[in-house]
Amino acid sequence: MNEYDWHKIKELAITWVKEASNQLKASLEETIHVETKSSPDDLVTEMDRKIEQYFLQKIQMNFPNHAFLGEEGISSEEFDNRDTIWIIDPIDGTTNFVHQQYNFAICVAVYHKGEGKVGIIYDVMNDELFHAVAGQGAFRNEERLESLAPVKVDKAIIGLNARWLLYKGKAFQPIVVDLVRQVRGVRSYGSAALEMAYVASGRLDGYISLRLSPWDFAAALVLLNEVGGCYSTFYGEPLAILKASSVFVGKPQFHDVVIRKFVQKELNS
């Protein structure tokens, strides 16, 4: 296969995502071994590792020149010397996978020379596939997603993990509290990737996390580019695709107003 035909690459990657989702669904019938990583809320299962290995094998077989970055610790050695990189989260929302068997996603992104070319976020239990190729529109299953319309803060619904409200003493905390007070509603689904896919598809107007990694947001940025969604760190700086950081994604005008009237105003006061 032509290694720069992004549409064909997306179609192939979707077949892998569907196969991986069958493995995940089958595993829910069995006892899953769970471990904690950095903290009690940071879980990994044998299925995270198995699905990541599955993608690595497929990518190495089909695209030996491409690099690979996955959440469970696999990355290609000569990462920096390769133009094309696959960024994979085998399960986004592992806590949901373990505790609820619901609201978890498989995420696949392909970046070329730093630009997002393919983004796939698959809600396994709802069979909802969010996918995009740069310049060719974003889709929810077969339905093309529309460009995002502006929304005012007092009419906005945002995605946010309530824990971020608790960090007293951190610069972001009073800003997040103020925003939560002023928006119309706050939702928390427990999968950053799905929440950003919901922004791309208009179900949410914004999503905030103060700590995400490339595999959590790489695919979502490709979707957001196609519908005019905005993204930055929580402080309004550009996102670096291979670096962990805070993330704020939102509808165009909403994103701008939150950065200016909430974040910058508080930080400059």
User: Which residue sits closest to ligand 2AM, CB atoms considered?
Assistant: 192
- C-beta of 5: minimal distance to ligand 2AM in Å? 29
Which residues, 76 to 135, sit near ligand 2AM by CB under 6 A?
89, 92-94
Q: How many CB atoms lie within 10 A of CB 241?
A: 17
User: Which of ligand 2AM, Ca ion, none is residue 52 near (CB under 5 to 8 Å by kind)?
Assistant: none
Instruction: Provide CB contacts within 8 A for 224, sequence distance 6+.
Output: 138, 196, 199, 200, 230, 231, 249
Interface region with ligand 2AM, contact rule CB under 6 A, candidates 78-86, 110-118, 206-214, 255-263: 206-214
Judged by DSSP in three states, 60 sits in: helix
Closer CB to ligand 2AM, residue 197 or residue 263? 197
205 binds Ca ion (CB under 5 A): no
As separate numbers, helices (DSSP H) first and strands (DSSP E) second, the chain gives: 8, 14
Handedness of CA 140, 186, 156, 107 (dihedral sign): negative
Contact flag: residue 229 with ligand 2AM (CB under 6 A): no
Give whichever of 44 and 179 is closer to ligand 2AM, judged by the CB atom.
Answer: 44
Least CB distance to Ca ion at residue 213 (A) = 9
Count of chain residues binding ligand 2AM (CB under 6 A): 17
- Quick check: 46 binds ligand 2AM (CB under 6 A)? no
**Residue 212: contacted member of ligand 2AM, Ca ion, none (CB under 5 to 8 Å, by partner type):** ligand 2AM
| 47 vs 263, beta carbon nearer Ca ion | 47
Q: How does 124-153 read in b/e, with b if 16+ C-beta sit within 10 Å?
A: bbeeebbbbbbeeebbbeeeebeebeebeb
Cα separation, 205 vs 39, in Å, equals 30
Of 43 and 230, the one with the shorter C-beta distance to Ca ion is 43
Count other C-beta atoms under 10 Å from residue 173's C-beta: 15
CA atoms within 13 A on the CB side of 130: 30
3-state secondary structure of 202: coil
Which residues between 76 and 135 bind Ca ion (CB under 5 A)? 89, 91
- In this complex, which beta carbon is closest to ligand 2AM, that of residue 93 or of residue 116? 93
Nearer to ligand 2AM, 125 or 257 (CB): 125
d(CA 94, CA 45): 8
Name the residues that contact ligand 2AM, by CB under 6 A.
38, 41-42, 71, 89, 92-94, 161, 190-192, 209, 211-213, 216
